[in-house]
Amino acid sequence: MHRAQLAHHGFTESSISAQIDASRWQAFGEKVVLAQNSPPSRRQLMWLAVLDARGCALGSHTSLELANFRGFASEASRVHLIIPRGGKVTPLPGVQVHESRRLRLDQLVMTDGLPRTPSARSVLDAAAWQPYPRFAGVMVAAAVQQRVVTAEQLERALREVGRIRHKQFLREAVADAATGANAGGELDLARVCRRYGLTPPARQGKRRDTSGVWRFLDAEWDTPSGTVVLEVDGKQHMDAEHWESDMRRERAIVVSRKWVLRATNFEIRHDAEAVVRDLLALGVPPLQGSCQNFTAL
């Protein structure tokens, strides 16, 4: 409790100090008291943080945790607290403080009495505070998949957020989440083939697998050593049901003597050279007359 709350319930400063001196209670900074002598639970740590800072909000992974988001346990181990730029707080073990110029108290969400940033902003903050752009796409896909936030809410938050790290990657991830399909990835693959001078693949080829079921393949090339298949995975492939279905589908393709490679939309857009290198290693031919220096790959 905040000392002002204790005073409202009739506790004097001397009675509070007596409890602390007797090691029955613990003081956290000058404002907040924990009425027990054992370490705080995670929920109590959240309360300690927001009572000490005031005018603040739980953000990023902590806000999403309160919205029942699952995953990224290593990031969720800390309590993320957002305070206004220039605000002062007591350093608390396990609490990471972020200053923000755009913390608006009228936009906060209350969950079990705890103030937190809206889920859309929380997703963008969690993605932007990481040094790795690939994380941005995974974060967006996971949040939309778990129905913590919609692609439309993320798109609206992106328009309002101003300058943040990985913003272009976030735009692409939100667009993928909105379509829920691989169409964007397939268009990107066509651009990669033109850029690196690869023979364009056959698209959405219709093939029967060993059980007689018709399968549609994202991209395939016929080579002297066999057929090379590239599957471009969008955000829907992260879902457990789709993942298991994809594995069964891939086994059936391999049994039919096709080489199967997988790549994410992110890799096709931002790490295309590695994908091209693997395709070339399996015999995918360059276009005749292409000037691309494939040996450099």
The domain that holds 235 is classified in CATH as 3.40.960
Task: Provide the number of structural domains found in the chain.
Answer: 3
Q: What angle do CA 102, 108, 113 make, to 5 degrees?
A: 140
Question: Poorest-confidence range of 18-27, 76-85, 144-153, 201-210?
Answer: 201-210
Q: Is residue 47 located within the same domain as residue 172?
A: yes
91 pLDDT more than 80? yes
Residue 102 and residue 23 share a domain: no
**Encoded tokens for 266:** 């992110």
Q: In what order do the strands lie in the sheet with 79-84?
A: 95-100, 79-84, 57-58, 114-116, 109-111
What's the mean pLDDT in 33-51? 96
Those residues whose C-beta lies under 8 Å from the C-beta of residue 85, and which sit 6 or more positions away, are 99, 100, 101
Q: What pTM was estimated for this model as a whole?
A: 0.67
Task: Give the pLDDT mean for 175-186.
Answer: 62
Give dist(CA 138, CA 170) in Å, integer: 10
Q: Which residues contact 17 (CB under 8 A, 6 or more apart)?
A: none
Tell me the C-alpha distance between 141 and 76, whole Å.
Answer: 17
- 57 and 149 together in one domain: yes
Domain-ending residue, one of 142, 157, 179: 179
Reply yes or no on whether the pLDDT at 77 is more than 70.
yes
Q: Cβ(170)–Cβ(128) under 8 Å?
A: yes
Same domain, 189 and 249: yes
Average pLDDT of the chain to the nearest whole number: 83
Distance, C-alpha 37 to centroid of its chain:
37
Query: Could you tell me if 91 and 220 lie in one domain?
Result: no
**What range does the domain containing 81 cover?**
41-179
Burial of 29 per CB tally in 10 Å (0-12, 13-18, 19+) = middle
> Of 157, 179, 201, at which residue does a domain stop?
179
Contact by Cβ (8 Å): 142, 154: no
In this predicted model, what pLDDT tens digit does every residue of 115-140 receive, in sequence order? Answer: 999 999 999 999 998 888 878 878 88
Beta strand spans in the chain (E): 26-28, 32-34, 57-58, 79-84, 95-100, 109-111, 114-116, 202-208, 214-223, 226-233, 258-264
